[in-house]
Amino acid sequence: MINYSVVKAWDFGEIVQTYAARDTMLYALGIGLGADPLNAAELEFVFERKLQCVPTMAAVLGAPGAWLRDPRTGADYLKLVHGEQAVRVIKPLPPAATVVAQNRVESLTDKGAGKGAIVVVLRQLREQATGELLAECRHTLFLRGDGGFSTESGVSDPAPASLPTVPDRLPDIEVSLPTLERQALLYRLSGDYNPLHSDPAVAKAAGFSRPILHGLCTFGMAAHAILKATCEYRAARIKEIAARFTAPVYPGETIRFQLWQGAASEWHLRAIVADRDVVVLNNGLARCG
C-alpha cells in the first residue's frame, strides 16, 4: 500500500535538462506538425528558421521518471495510469535552452478502499540562464491499487479540483488530425521509452492488440489542434491547456478534436476516435491570449 508520508516528502532534487532546436523540432514532428511540408505556419515548428516551441513540450522537460516504481513509495505501480495533465505557460519556451525542473508532490488523495488513490505532482520549469519561470505542469496519476491507504496513515489530502465538463451542445469547431502507424515510435524519441508504446509483445501482455500512442502525444496533438483552429499557429497565444485521459489511441487512427468557445479566450475540449466511437480526451480546457 502506498506510504503517504514517504510520497508527500519525496525528494526529486533539481533536474537539469538541456534541449536543442533539434529536440524542439523532433517533439513537434512527434505530435504531427509538419504533416504538410508546404504549410508555412507548421514549418515554424519543424524548421530551424523562425522556430517556435509547442507549449506542451513543457510536459516532457524535467520529468522525474518512474519514481513510483521505487519500493519505498509502497505504490502498486502496475495499476498506475496517467489521469490528467495540465500545462500553464508563464513565458514561451525558447527553441533551445537549459532548464531546471523542481518537482514536488502537491497532493495524495485516498478515494477509498477499492476505489484507488490520486497523486498530483507539480513541476516548475525555470530557464537556467535567467532563473525565470517558464511553465508549471500538473501531472495527475490515478493509482487503482492504492485506495484505502488512509486507514493506516490516518491522513489524506483533499481531492484536486475537477476539470470542467464540455458543453452539452454541438462543438463550435472540429479539427481532425491523423496519426501515423509509426507515430509512437517517433514520439518516444522525446523521452518516454515505455515499451508499451513500441513492443507488440508488451502491449499484448498489457491487454492491448498492439502498441498504443502515448497519452502525452495525444495531449500535444490537442495543442496542435488549438494552434491550428484558434491561434493562427502562434505558440505564444496558448497560456494554459489541461485535459483528462479517458482512452488510448492506436497509431494510425485519426483523432477528431472538438472545441467549444467558453468565457473570454477559453476553449473547452474533447477528442474522439470516430471509427471506434471512443472519447480519448475529455474535460479539456485551453486558455489563449
The residue from 23, 110, 146, 192 that is catalytic is 192
Angstrom CA distances, 144 to 39, 112, 118, stand at 43, 10, 9
Give the burial string for 44-63 (b: 16+ CB within 10 Å, else e). Answer: bbbeeeebbbbbbbbbbbbb
The residue from 32, 116, 197, 284 that is catalytic is 197
The residue from 2, 31, 118, 212 that is catalytic is 212
Q: Say whether 74 is catalytic.
A: no
- Which residue(s) pair with 15 in the sheet? 101
**Residue found under cell 496558448:** 238
Q: Say whether 197 is catalytic.
A: yes
**What span, in angstroms and rounded, lies between the C-alpha atoms of 51 and 166?**
33
Question: What does 104-154 look like in DSSP terms, one character per residue?
Answer: EEEEEEE--TTT-EEEEEEEEEEETTT--EEEEEEEEEEETT-TTTHHHHS
- Cβ atoms of residues 147 and 177 within 8 Å: no
* Residue 148 identity (one-letter amino acid): G
Q: Say whether 275 is catalytic.
A: no
> What is the separation, in whole angstroms, between the first and last Cα of the chain?
44
Q: Say whether 36 is catalytic.
A: no
In 3D space, the residue among 246, 245, 272, 261 whose CA is nearest the CA of residue 171 turns out to be: 261
Give start and end residues of each alpha helix (H) in the chain: 4-8, 21-30, 40-46, 150-153, 183-187, 200-205, 215-230
The residue from 32, 116, 148, 215 that is catalytic is 215
Q: Provide Rg for the chain, Cα atoms.
A: 19
Residue 204: CB atoms within 10 Å = 12
Active site residues: 192, 197, 212, 215
